[in-house]
């Protein structure tokens, strides 16, 4: 938490991770904060079941961002959080997953710091951890994966700085966030940089929710698999030998969840 606010009587802003979808995966502190909130600014990936846990009477405001959809600009969200902190005692910025893992929580924290607003971070289970677990995929496993890398794949084909050679190394697990539109690029670049085409892969759509779908295949047919199953965002792409273990946890059997293919 930072120091004193430059805005008289400004409230506290809590950056709260809602986890990957299942409300049972909220932390105790996150739940308590939602039930104490005066104002909640929430993202597109926060489920209705989690929104239902917000204190009755709290002001709610949607500030979701989605690929290909009209969405709030990050600077506007930052400014809105600052303004709301001047109106409410307890403001919650509620984000799917973890605010500091591809959630722009750092940008919001910097803006709050610059405005002199007191803030705190309440971590959430990031999508890779939760969805991997519910799909029965341990992201690290002795003899198969000694490291795991999280990558934002959004616009991967156009952005510089993606170290494909590093991602293609055997003995590692790579989890691509926001990668539905970049699946052909993922398949091509990993193989071009040396990852074996027979490397197991998994696609996890709407992970940790009652409509979760999990599909298994190999890297050399990743794009074809995604097209065959009509994969839709939000979805994760998991690449690595661990994706071929074929585990079936009971947590994947939440009502309505499709079994892995």
- pLDDT, tens only, 180-207: 999 999 999 999 999 999 999 999 999 9
Is the pLDDT at 15 greater than 60? The verdict is yes
pLDDT category, 228, cuts 50, 70, 90? Answer: very high
What is the CATH architecture assignment of 12-124? 3-Layer(aba) Sandwich (3.40)
| Architecture category of domain 128-253 in CATH | 2-Layer Sandwich (3.30)
**Distance (Å, rounded) from C-alpha 36 to C-alpha 54?**
8
22, 43, 95, 98: the active-site residue: 43
What does each C-alpha distance from 175 to 28, 31, 124, 137, 179 come to in angstroms? 27, 27, 17, 11, 9
Identify the pLDDT of residue 16: 98
* Whether residue 43 lies in the annotated active site: yes
| 95 classed as catalytic | no
What does the block give as tokens for 205?
A: 């759509």
Q: What is the spatial distance between Cα 193 and Cα 218, in angstroms, rounded to a whole number?
A: 16
Mean pLDDT across 16-42: 97
What confidence score (pLDDT) does residue 10 get?
Answer: 83
Give the Cα separation of 189 and 184 in Å (integer): 9
pTM of the model: 0.89
Angle at 124 between CA 120 and CA 127, to 5 degrees: 140
For CA atoms 209, 245, 190, 259, the dihedral sign is negative
Q: Nearest Cα to 130, choosing from 13, 219, 258, 18?
A: 18
> Cα torsion at 3, 82, 30, 90 (round to 10°)?
80
- The pLDDT value recorded for residue 246 is 86
- Over residues 92-114, mean pLDDT: 97
For residues 67 and 243, the model is more confident at: 243
Task: Considering the candidates 65, 95, 98, 163, report the single residue annotated as catalytic.
Answer: 65
**Rounded mean pLDDT of 211-228?**
97
Domain chopping of the chain, boundaries: 12-124, 128-253
């Amino acid at each position: 938490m930072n120091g004193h606010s430059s805005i008289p009587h400004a409230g506290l802003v809590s950056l709260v991770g809602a986890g990957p979808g299942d409300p049972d995966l909220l932390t105790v502190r996150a739940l308590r904060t939602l039930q104490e909130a005066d104002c909640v600014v929430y993202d597109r990936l926060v489920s209705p079941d989690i929104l239902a846990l917000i204190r009755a009477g709290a002001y709610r405001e949607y500030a979701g961002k989605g690929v290909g959809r009209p969405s709030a600009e990050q600077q506007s969200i930052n400014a809105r959080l600052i303004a709301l902190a001047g109106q409410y005692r307890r403001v919650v910025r509620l984000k799917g997953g973890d605010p500091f893992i591809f959630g722009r929580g750092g940008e919001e924290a910097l803006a709050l710091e610059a405005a002199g607003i007191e803030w705190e971070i309440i971590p959430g289970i990031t999508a890779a951890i939760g969805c991997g677990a519910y799909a029965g995929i341990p992201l690290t496993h002795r003899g198969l994966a000694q490291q795991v890398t999280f990558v934002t794949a959004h616009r991967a084909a156009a952005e510089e700085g993606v170290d494909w050679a590093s991602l293609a190394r055997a003995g590692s697990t790579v989890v691509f966030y926001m990668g539905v539109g970049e699946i052909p690029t993922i398949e091509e670049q990993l193989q071009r940089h040396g990852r074996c085409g027979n490397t197991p892969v998994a696609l996890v759509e709407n992970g940790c929710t009652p409509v979760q779908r999990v599909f298994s295949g190999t890297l050399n047919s990743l794009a074809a698999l995604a097209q065959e199953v009509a994969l839709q965002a939000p979805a994760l792409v998991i690449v690595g030998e661990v994706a071929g273990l074929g585990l079936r946890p009971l947590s994947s059997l939440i009502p309505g969840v499709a079994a892995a293919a």
